[in-house]
Structure formats: C-alpha cells, structure tokens
Amino acid sequence: MDIEWIEIDDQTRHPTQIAAMRVDEEWRFKNMFYTRIRPLDERLYTWDHVAYTGSAAEDFLSAPTLEEAVNLLNDWLQEDDVLCWWIKSNLKAFMEFIGEIGNK
C-alpha cells in the first residue's frame, strides 16, 4: 500500500492519493486499488505540485473525499489481505488520516 500527501505551511498533512496492489503468493500482480482524494480546501493546494502524476486539478476536485476513499479501500480489501506499506511513515500518515475521520 502507499499513500501520498502534501504538507501545507502549517505542517498539516493533506492526503492526495491512495493505492494498494494485491499480489499472489509468488508476488505476481493480481489487481490494484487506486483513488485520488478530494482536498478539504482547494485553495490550499499548489496544483502544479499536487498534479505531478499528470492529473489536472479537476481530477482531484471530483475525487472522493478522504472518508469516501477509505470506505472504497475497505470495500476492496479482502479478509485475508495482509497490508504491507511502502514505507513506515506512510502507515503512520494513514493512521493519522483515519483518526481525522473519526474525530469529525
């Protein structure tokens, strides 16, 4: 799994994308989950930086909210999936974002 975010001047993280890949026992690709995440406040984003993937601002503005993205991920996950994160800091960031959803 991987999650991308940007940090605004106040050092607050804002998630922009989340992806996961399912592999078999031999680590061969089976399928993938991917979604952009709609910003909480589009005025905060420097779109040239956020859209490094080649996406336009509209791609993010029409994307699911963080809560919707997490629900979509949860629907995609299977009971026997084992989550492996690209790097440990991404797991920490994801957990912070999940906490933000719970604090609404």
CA neighbours within 13 Å on the CB side: how many for 24?
Answer: 4
Structure letter (DSSP) for residue 53: T
As a dihedral over the C-alpha atoms of residue 57, residue 62, residue 64, residue 65, rounded to 10 degrees, the angle is 70
Each residue's pLDDT, cut to its tens digit, for the chain (104 residues) gives 999 888 776 777 888 899 999 999 999 999 999 999 998 777 666 666 665 567 777 888 899 999 999 999 999 999 999 999 988 888 988 998 888 776 65
How confident is the model at residue 47, as a pLDDT? 66
Q: What is the identity of the amino acid at 55?
A: S
